[in-house]
Amino acid sequence: MKTLPATLLEPEDEAPAAPAPEYPASRTHRAIAVMVASAAVSTVCGVAQTLWIPRVLSVQAFGYWRAFLLYAGYAGLLHLGLVDGALLAWSSTPAKTRRPQLAPALRFLAAEHLLLLLPLAGAAWVYAPRPVAVLTAALAVYALLFNLVGLLQVRLQTQLRFSAVAFGISAPSVVFVASFGVIALAGANAGRFLFAWLGAWALTAAALFWLTRGTPADDAPNSAPETPKPSSWRTGLAFIAAGWPIVLANTGYGLMQSADRVTVNLTRPIHDFAIYSLSQSTIYVPIAILAAVSRVAFSYFARTHATGRAAFYRTTTRLLTLTWMLLLPYFFAVEWVVRRFLPKYIDGLPAGRILLLSVLFLSLIQIVQLNAYSLEGRQRQFFAGSIAAVALAFATAWAGSRLIGSLTAVAWSQVLTAALWWIGNEWFLRRRNGLRWTAVAQVVAGFVIASLLLIGTEGTGLSAPNAAMLYLAAAAPSLLLLFPAERRIVRDRLWR
C-alpha cells in the first residue's frame, strides 16, 4: 500500500517536485459557492430546529436533547484517525490509487465501531438506568453513522466533487426537519426527535455510498493498470497511523470549543444548561458558513505548492476576518427571533452575543491554523497547544460558572481562551505560514472595532434591520482601512 510521506510539504521518494497543478479561480469560486449554499440550507434547517424544538419541549426536556447533541459532538473520536488519514492519503496520492481503498476502509471502520461500541452499549443496557441506556445506545449508533458519512465525504472531497459533499452536509438537517410533521402528528417528545435524527443520518450515509459508486473521469478504471485490492486490515491501520495525530488535534479543538457547555452542564441545573445551550446556537450560522469554506480551503491548500502556502495563509486569514465582521449583524435577527418566539430563553441573549465574538478566533484556528499544522505534519504540536487551551478553557469556564455565577462570564471565558490560543499558534507558525505581527494586529483591530460596534449598536434600541444597517454603515470606514488588498479588488471590479 502507498504510504504517506513524513510531511506533505516534501515530495515523496525524494523525486523532483512536479509543477503544482493550477486550478482556475472560477473553479474555486464555484466550489465555495456550492459549499456556502449547502451551509445556507443547513442554516435554514438549523433555524427551524432552534425555533420549533424548544417550543414543543419543556425546558428540561430540551436540556436533555441538547446534552445528547453536545456529547454526540465527540463521535468523531471513535474513528481513531481513519477518516483524517484517508483525507491525507487521497489528497496526496494519484487518483488511480484511491479507488481500491474505499471499500476496505469502510469495512474496517464498521468492524472497528462494532468492536468498540457493542460491549459498551450492551453493558449500559443491562446495568444502567433506562434513560442512560437509551442515550448510550443512541450515541453508539450515531457515532457509526457519523463516521461513515465522514469517510464517504472525504472520498468525494478529494475528487473535488463538492456538489456531492455539499449534499452530505445539508442532507441530515433537511431530512430531520422534514420529519417534524410526522413527529407533530405522533406527539413531540425527546425520544421521537432522537429516532428521527438517527434516521436522517442513516439515509444520508446510504445516499453518499450510492454517489461514491460513480466513476469520475479522473478515476476511470482504464486510467492505470489494475492494482491489487488491499486488505481492510492493512488499509484501516495505515490510515489510522497517518490520521491519529489529526484526530488528536481535532479532539483538542473540540474539547476547547465545548468546554463552556460541558462546564455549565456539570455545574449548573439543567434549566441553566438549556438556556446557555440555546444561546450557543446563535453562533451556528457563521460557524456553518465558515466550516463549509474550510472544506474547500483544505483541498486547494493541500494541492498548492509549499512556496505558495504562506500567501494563501495570509489571504485566507484576511478573508475570514472580513467575513466575520460582515456576519455580526446576524445577531440582531437572532435577538428578534428569540424575543418574538422563544421568550423563555431571553436570559441567554447576552451570552449568545458574547459567544458570537469568539467565532473569529475559532474559525481562524480551525480553518487556517489547523490546516497549516496538518500539512506540515505538526499535528502533535497543535495537540500539545490544545491541551493548554483546554485546561485554560475549563478553568476559566468553571470560575465564571461557580465563582462569578454568571452565564455571560462563562461566555467571555470562551472568547478569552480562543484569542490566546490563536495568538499562541501564530507564534509557533511564524517561521513558515504564520502571519507577520502587523497582520496579527490587523485581525485584533478588526475584532475590537467590530465588537464595540456590535455592542454599541445593540444599545441603541433600534429594530433589527435598522440596527444592522447602522452597524454596516459604521463599520464601512474600518473595513476600507483594514483591508486594502480587498479594497483594491472591489475597486478594480467596479471600474472594469
SS3 track for 387-416: HHHHHHHHHHHHHHHHHHCCHHHHHHHHHH
Q: What does each C-alpha distance from 51 to 63, 148, 187, 296, 337 come to in angstroms? A: 15, 29, 17, 30, 8
DSSP-derived letter for residue 10 is: S
Cα three-residue angle 279-67-74, rounded to 5 degrees: 105
Residue 288, amino acid: A
* pLDDT computed for residue 303 by the predictor: 54
Detail the DSSP E strand segments found in 26-154: none
Q: What is the dihedral of CA 136, 137, 138, 144, to 10 degrees?
A: 110
| Per-residue pLDDT, 2 | 35
DSSP structural state of residue 462: -
Contacts of residue 203, defined as CB under 8 A and 6 or more positions apart, other chains included, come to 171, 175
- Whole-model pTM above 0.85? no
Comparing C-alpha atoms, which of 283, 263, 416, 267 is closest to residue 348? Answer: 283
Distance of CA 408 to the CA centre of its chain: 23
User: What's the pLDDT score for residue 199?
Assistant: 93
- By CB atoms closer than 10 A (0-12, 13-18, 19+), residue 185 is exposed
- Per-residue pLDDT of the chain (496 residues), as tens digits, is 333 333 333 333 434 444 444 445 455 556 667 776 777 787 788 778 877 888 888 888 888 888 888 888 888 888 888 888 888 777 765 544 445 578 888 888 888 888 888 888 788 777 777 777 778 888 889 999 999 999 998 888 877 777 788 888 889 999 999 998 888 888 888 888 999 999 999 999 999 999 887 554 444 444 444 455 667 788 888 888 877 777 877 788 888 888 899 899 889 888 888 889 888 877 767 776 666 665 565 555 555 555 556 777 887 888 888 888 988 888 898 888 888 888 888 888 899 999 999 999 998 998 888 878 877 777 778 888 888 999 999 999 999 999 998 999 999 999 999 999 999 998 888 777 667 888 888 899 999 999 999 999 987 888 888 999 999 999 888 888 887 766 665 555 545 5
Maximum distance among all alpha carbons in the chain?
71
- 295 touches 35 (CB < 8 A): yes
User: Given the C-alpha cell 436540556, which residue does it identify?
Assistant: 63
The pLDDT, as a whole number, for residue 176 is 92
